[in-house]
Each structure stands twice: as C-alpha cells, then as structure tokens.
Amino acid sequence: MQRLILRSKNQIALASGLLIAAAFLNRWTVGSPLVFEGALIAAALMGILPIAIQAYQAARLRLVTIDALVTIAVLGAFAIRNFEEAAIVTFLFLFGAYLEQRTLHKTRSAIKELLEMAPETALKLMEDGQFAEVDVEDVEVGDILLVKTGAKVPVDGTVTAGEGSVNEASITGESMPVPKEKGSQVYAGTILDNGTLQIAADRVGEDTTFAKIIELVEEAQDSKSAAERFIDRFARYYTPTVLAMGLLVGLLTRDVELAITILVLGCPGALVIGVPVSNVAGIGNGARHGVLFKGSEVIGDFSRVDTVVFDKTGTLTVGRPAVAETEFYGENTAEAPAYLASIERESDHPLAKAVLAEIGEIETYAVENTEVVKGAGVVATVNGHRVAVGNAALMARENVALDDKARAALASCEERGNSLVLTAVDGQLQILMGVRDQIRPGVKGVLERLKRLGVRSLVMLSGDNQGTVDAVSRELGLTEARGNMLPEDKAAYIRSLIAQGRTVAFVGDGVNDSPSLALAQIGIAMGGGTDVAVETSDVVLMNSDLGRLPHALGLAKATARNMKQNIFIAVGVVLVLLASVLFGEWMNMSIGMLVHEGSILVVILNGMRLLRFRLTTSRERS
C-alpha cells in the first residue's frame, strides 16, 4: 500500500488541488460550510498520506526530515481545526516535489542524451561471408563490422575498408564531420554521416570510449562535493532543531498556530537541493562539451586553481616532429631533395619521417655503400654522388665548409629549438632543415584565456632539452619552463608548488605524467592519451582538445558561484520567513509554504542555467 501511495504522489497532488479548488468555488458560489470543510479535510488527508509515509520511512532510519516537519504541522492544523491551511500546505508540498522532480530530470539530460546515442545492434561479418545484424553485446574483439550511412558505430575500432565522414559530437562535443579512411580510428556512439565503412572491433562493451564516458558522467553526477556533504550533515541536525524550536515557542506562547507555522517555514528544502542541482547541471554541461568532471568534489577544487602546469609533448605540442624551416645553399640544388629522400626513406627515425613528409612525393634513387655514423647521421652513395645527411658534427667529419651565412642559420635554428638535418652532396652543403615538434594550433589563445580566467602562473615541464623548452616557452609566453625533467622531478616540482600554497592543475597525456596527475589538486588528462593517464586524472578533455580547457575552468567557476548563490537564496528565504512570522503579522502557514516551495523552484532554475553555460569574453574577465 505504501508503495502504491508513493508511486501515485503526482496524481494525489492533482486530486488534492482539484478538491481545494472545488472548496473555494463552493465558498464563492453556494457558500455551504459543510461542503467547504469536507473538501478541505479530504484534500488534506489525501495529501498528508505520502508525506507521512516518507516521514515514517526516514524515522525508521533515525532521521528527522522535512516530511516530518510538514506532517506534524498538518496534524497540528487539524488539532486547531485550521483545515484550510492544512489542505493548502500539503498540496503546495506535493506540487513543489513534482516541480522539483521535473526540473531535476532536465538537469540529468546529458546522461539521457548519451544513453540514447548508445548503439544496440551491429552488422557483423559471419562465417558465410555475409553481414548479419546482431546485438552489440555479441560483438567480440577482432570481429569485422559494417557501418552504413546514417548508422551508429557500434564499437571502438579501426577502419579496414571504405571511406566516409563521421559525426563525433558524442565523443568530442564537435559537430564537424571527421573524414575516415583505412587505418582511421572510430568510436562507439558516433554516427556515419556518409559513406560505408568496414571496421575491426578493438574495444567492445564497457571498454569502449563511449561506455567509459557514460560511466564517468554517471559516477560524477552521483558523487557528492564537500559542500553537499556539509549540507547533508547540517540538515540532519537543523531539522530536529527547527522541531525543538517550534515546540519551545508553542510552550512559551501557548500559540499552537505560531508553533506550527514555524515548523513549516523552517523547512530547509531549498538548502538541501540547491548544491546538488548546481553540480549535476555543471557536470551535464561539461559532458556535452567534451569535458568530463570525475565528481562534484573536482568542481570546487578546479574553480580555485591559480597555477596550471603543462607537460610539453602531446599537450602543448602535437607530439610529432615536423619540418619548421628549410634553407638551400649552392647553385645546383635541384636533385638534392631527391637524394635526401632516397636516404631518409630507409630510416625509421622520427626526423626522417618528418623530412619525407615535407618533401612529399618525389622520384628517388638506389642507395649504396650506406655508413651510419652513430650520433651524427648517415653517409651513402646516391646516383653516383657522396651524400651526407646528419648534424653539424657529421658535416665537420665530412669536411663540409660552412660559410658565415650557413653558421648564422644553424645558430638561429638551434635557438628556436630545432633539431638540424643537414644535407651535403659531394662535400658541399645544399640543404638545411630545422625539425621540431610543432605547437598545437590555438594553444597561445588558450593560454591567454586561462590568464583572463584568473590563472596567475602557466608552467611547462618537459624531459626535452632546456634549449627546446625555452624556445617553446618564449613563443607561448609562459611564466616558467623547465627541461631535462624525469617523471619524479615533475612530481617533486608539483609538491613544491603545493607546499607554497598554490592550487595546482597539471595537464598531461602520457604514462610518465600519471604521478603528477595524481599528485596535483586537479589532474587534467588529454582524452587521446594513455589509459593510465585518463584513469589517474580528475578532468578529461575529450579528443585531446586543449581548447576545451578554458571552458572547463570557466564552467567550474560558474558552478561554484551558482552553488554559493543557491545557498544564499535558501538561507536568506528561511531567515526572512522566520523573522516575518516572529515579528510580523501578515505571515501564515500557507503563504510560508508557498514562498518555501517557490525558493526550491528558484534554486533549481538557477542551477539549470548552467546547462546553457558557454564561455564568453565577458565571463573570462569576470
């Protein structure tokens, strides 16, 4: 019976409201006191049932809740035959719970949207060579799947055949289609806008990126921040205090109605709901914009960050070396790129790959008499010419003369953090290339936005040499940059910053970043990084997009402000109501309950504003 009544709360609220409306309609028309009181008594008795049941269930757990205050207040109203207020109070309480339920449901829209995107079936290649539709739970690693235009990608996998464009908004938050071809990675829950793909399943079920996103958001929205835990403890003691205060006032004043009104007005509903709704809405907004907060606790700490420490490779830089500068020397240089490509195509060195990418498609020659000079480069015969490819030390070994212009170019390249690839043909320098890890597009703008959001120190730590680190730091305008750092050095540096009283966020993507990610107050992982980095972190930037970091910080600050606003509204309303009933004459139980339920709705709607949060220039400066 109890379950049935609780499941029917909304219907009971509607019936109660209709009875109250009928009572007042009777008063204004027929004027029958019997009908008026009868309708109000029926409405009050009907409305108090689910409230009293909830109070009883909480009491069994030794908790005195808002439901208990309302139940006692309504019973007291019956005792003094104030049926009008008893009926109105129960209706407003149930109607407020209905509005709260509806609006809170909207704040969890991120989870609902994610769950709706989850694929349920897949087209799997069977033993007879045909594709058949199966449940996605039946797909195993290594299976070949077919994805057609408009279909959802069922698992994380690698494209084995076909081409197309995939909408990865469910993973990255970006709606622009991403072209896919053989060898490309695809993710479960994304949608193939056009084309047809065959993919090999790499991660299935709960191991897919999409499943992990849903799990992280659910865990985050169910977690409690320090503020929520404090308010829970506060409400546990506050509610019995209000009950005691009401009884004391009743005993001292002999005014039962005043005591009952205090019980109603002292309900801390807005205070209890205000902080959770802010956290849930903030986490939901982040999920839709490619930012995963791992819990409500993270938001409070992140909002206070004043120092952001970055790993260099793969975070501030792309993580792949590319040719940044090229100079040609001498008169007959037309064949030199072909000679250089001929030698580099036989090497697996990252610099060789960068050089080949820069040269592009070109005719190459057979390479003979190859001699690898350790730590310097390669010397070989190409098309009858002696070709040396390497650093300045190799040029000196080969007696290649460098004029003043070439020496100045070498020094300038090294100053800017480049690794040098020099090419000499028959003892004459012909090509100088400067290769370095390229800074991620838009990083400088991201750092400027972080400064406007109140970050005082931007620091870079790297295992790379100090010269390269300094060059990147100068280009980006960082506060500090340190090179030649091992993982333990980075962790020690984070400890030193925390010891200075800084609130530190560390941004990284590799296994070697994990100790620093765990040690910093806020660890921020690039979503395309290693699993251990993502697991260790507090915040994940999906698709390794550093451009989401300002939105994440701005959202954390907005959520923290929103929580404080809701606490202020909730406490302020209770104080005003209690002051009004103790020192004024206009306040009664019905008005108090109306204001009380209105305050709950206000804090919920205030929290829901976070669902539409977008970082703007004005917010960055606030």
Q: What is the CATH number of the domain that holds 123?
A: 2.70.150.10
* Same domain, residue pair 330 and 412: yes
Q: Are 507 and 311 in contact (CB under 8 A)?
A: yes
Measure CA 93 to chain center.
35
Is 347 in a helix, a strand, or coil?
coil
Q: 178 pairs with which residues across the strands?
A: 166
Same domain, 52 and 102: yes
pLDDT surpasses 50 at 591: yes
Q: Are residues 79 and 12 in the same domain?
A: yes
Q: What single letter denotes the amino acid at residue 82?
A: N
Domain shared by 151 and 194, yes or no: yes
Residues 532-575: tens digit of each pLDDT: 456 667 888 877 788 889 999 999 999 989 988 988 888 888 88
Residue 551: predicted pLDDT: 93
Q: DSSP strand E in 204-316: where?
A: 291-293, 307-311
pLDDT (average), residues 307-313: 89
Mean pLDDT score, 17-43: 87
Task: Please give the pLDDT value at position 220.
Answer: 46
Cβ atoms < 10 Å from Cβ of 73: 29
Distance CA 70, CA 263 (A): 7
Statement to judge: residues 201 and 260 lie in one domain: no
pLDDT tens by residue, 476-516: 999 999 987 877 788 889 889 999 999 999 998 755 577 78
Can you give the residue range of the structural domain that contains 393?
A: 320-438
- Predicted confidence at residue 221, as pLDDT, reads 46
| Statement to judge: residues 88 and 229 lie in one domain | yes
- Greater model confidence, 105 or 316: 316
Query: Would residue 383 count as lying in a domain?
Result: yes
User: Are 254 and 343 within one domain?
Assistant: no
What is the total residue count of the chain?
622
Please, what is the average pLDDT of the chain?
Answer: 81
More confident: 567 or 274 = 567
**Domain count across the chain:** 3
Query: Does the residue 40 lie in any domain?
Result: yes
Q: Report the C-alpha gap between 431 and 540 in whole angstroms.
A: 43
Q: What is the pLDDT of residue 114?
A: 53
Determine the pLDDT at residue 583: 78
The reply to whether 498 falls in a domain is: no
- The pLDDT confidence band at residue 618, using thresholds 50, 70 and 90, is low
**Is 535 within a domain?**
no
Mean pLDDT throughout 155-172? Answer: 80
Residue 183 phi/psi, 5-degree rounding, is 95, -15
Indicate if 437 belongs to the active site: no
Listed residue (281, 252, 145, 162) closest to 208, CA to CA: 145
Q: Are residues 101 and 229 in the same domain?
A: yes
| Rounded CA separation 426/225 (Å) | 70
Which of residues 27 and 269 earns the better pLDDT score? 27
| Same domain membership, residue 182 and residue 256 | no
In this predicted structure, what is the pLDDT of residue 188?
83
Tell me the mean pLDDT in the region 315-341.
85
Lowest mean pLDDT among 185-189, 226-230, 312-316, 401-405: 226-230
Burial class (CB in 10 A: 0-12, 13-18, 19+), 612: exposed
Whether residue 208 sits in one domain with residue 262: no
Tokens coding 427: 């003892």
- pLDDT of amino acid 42: 92
The mean pLDDT value for 151-175 works out to 78
Residue 399 has pLDDT above 50, yes or no: yes
What whole-number distance in Å separates Cα of residue 622 and Cα of residue 606?
A: 19
Residue 277 CA to residue 269 CA, distance in Å, equals 12
Residues 176 and 325 grouped into a single domain: no
The residues, any chain, with a CB within 8 Å of residue 547's CB and separated by 6 or more, are 442, 446
Q: What percent of the chain has pLDDT over 90?
A: 17
Q: Of 410, 438, 466, which marks where a domain is finished?
A: 438
Residue 544 lies in a domain: no
**Listed residues 438, 458, 488: the one ending a domain:** 438
> Mean of the pLDDT values across residues 346-367?
85
Tell me what the mean pLDDT of segment 229-257 comes to: 74
Pairing of strands 522-526, 504-508: parallel
For residue 51, is it within any domain? yes
| Residues 71 and 19 occupy one common structural domain | yes
- Provide mean pLDDT across the span 238-262: 78
Check residue 149 and give its pLDDT. 87
| CATH number where 378 lies | 3.40.1110.10
Res. 21: pLDDT tops 80: yes
The residues near 353 (Cβ < 8 Å, ≥ 6 apart) are 321
- Predicted pLDDT at 176: 55
Q: By the 8 A CB rule, do 205 and 189 touch? A: no
Q: 215, 237, 269 — which closes off a domain?
A: 215
- 386 assigned to some structural domain: yes
Model pTM above 0.85: no
Does pLDDT of 103 surpass 70?
no
- Asked if the model's pLDDT at residue 171 lies above 50, the reply is yes
pLDDT digits (tens, 9 = 90+) for 441-469: 889 999 999 999 999 999 998 877 777 78
CB 468 within 8 A of CB 436: yes
Helix (H) or strand (E) run with residue 457 in it: strand 457-461
Question: Is the confidence at residue 107, as pLDDT, over 60?
Answer: no
> Per the residue annotation, which of 67, 156, 301, 311 is the catalytic one?
311
Give residue-wise pLDDT tens across range 71-100: 877 777 787 777 877 787 788 778 767 766
Does 484 reside within a domain? Answer: no
Residue among 570, 580, 574, 595 at smallest CA distance from 258 = 580
pLDDT (0 to 100) of residue 96: 65
